[in-house]
Amino acid sequence: MTRTEKAKPARQSATPPKRGRGRPRKTHDEINDGNRRLALLKSAAKLFRRKSFGATTTRDIAVEVGMHNGSSYYHFKSKKALLLAVMEEGLTRGIRHQIEMLQSFGLGPEAGAAPLPKNVDPRRLLAALIRNHLDILLIKEREFVPVMLFEWRSLTPHERRGIGRLQDEYEAVWMRVLESLHRAGQLVCEVKLARLMLFGALNWTSRWFETSKTEQGGLDLDGVASAASRLILIEKA
């Protein structure tokens, strides 16, 4: 393990030094791009989530997927890029799940762009959004999404804006629902505050909710979800 002195290869100036990492064609055995990239993403998410970004080394991540340290840099240009990719993955997955759920209300992907149609009950839609949110946060995407919540401080202002745009996309429908409810006098406070409080209560669950206890069904999630609904609605059932 001693570091031996070695002649460094002279920088060859005839052709510009083109790095091997640039090209997509596989040079070795099995570089299964999509799979390996996703594996890295998942391991990174898992570790960032549990140990935090700062306490996770790129070696930790590589080892988890059975790679050698430097190899992750074939897929991601830096540790920070991995963090961003994890957050983006979580958000786009969340958005996707939400779009699917909205279909059962006859709503398309652009549902957040305009006021709610008259034929949807905002109370029922809110309940569904909340239930779906908990499902994403605590079950389906429990590795990815919390990283965004916990590691917000690890982003630069510019990076935050980027992630923020995706969050806005996710929250657009919520805003419509809350506005509709507020107009009907059914919110305990103004829309903006209601949204912040609601997401506060919901997102905080990722700190105390343990999957293990209610595995295989997520029974208790219904309880949390309905409590959250009643939180911001007037006229309790």
What residues line the site for a copy of itself (CB under 8 A)? 50-55, 150-154, 188-190, 193-194, 196-205, 207-208, 223-224, 227-228, 230-232, 234, 236
> Can you name the residues that pair with 150 across neighbouring β-strands?
none
The option from DNA, a copy of itself, none interacting with 63 (CB < 5 to 8 A, set by class) reads none
Task: Compute the least distance from the CB of residue 51 to a copy of itself, in Å.
Answer: 7
Alpha carbon separation from 181 to 157, 194, 235 (Å, rounded): 33, 11, 12
Residues 6+ apart with CB under 8 A from 115: 176, 179, 180
DSSP string, 22-78: G--S--STT--HHHHHHHHHHHHHHHHHHH-TTT--HHHHHHHTT--GGGHHHH-SS
Tell me which of 14, 24, 25, 28 binds DNA, using CB under 7 A: 28
Task: Compute the least distance from the CB of residue 202 to a copy of itself, in Å.
Answer: 7
Burial class (CB in 10 A: 0-12, 13-18, 19+), 153: exposed
Roughly what angle, to the nearest 10 degrees, separates helices 219-232 and 122-135? 130
Task: Compute the least distance from the CB of residue 47 to a copy of itself, in Å.
Answer: 11
Q: Give 71 or 206: the residue with its C-beta nearer to a copy of itself.
A: 206
Q: Dihedral sign, CA of 82, 85, 90, 91?
A: positive
Task: Compute the least distance from the CB of residue 31 to a copy of itself, in Å.
Answer: 31
Task: Compute the least distance from the CB of residue 189 to a copy of itself, in Å.
Answer: 4
* 27 contributes a contact to DNA by CB under 7 A: yes
- Give the interface segment with DNA, choosing from 29-37, 102-110, 190-198, 205-213 (CB under 7 A): 29-37
Q: Give 29 or 235: the residue with its C-beta nearer to DNA.
A: 29
Contacts with DNA by CB under 7 A: the residue count is 40
Reference 44, options 18, 28, 62; nearest CA is 62
Q: Which residues of 29-62 are buried (b: 16+ CB within 10 A; e: fewer)?
A: eeeeeeebbebbbbbbbbbbbeeebeebebebbb
The option from a copy of itself, DNA, none interacting with 200 (CB < 5 to 8 A, set by class) reads a copy of itself
Task: Compute the least distance from the CB of residue 9 to a copy of itself, in Å.
Answer: 26
Residues 71-90 that bind DNA (CB under 7 A): 71, 73-75, 77-80
Residues interacting with DNA, by CB under 7 A? 3-6, 8-9, 11-12, 17, 19-21, 27-32, 35-37, 40, 56-59, 62, 66-71, 73-75, 77-80
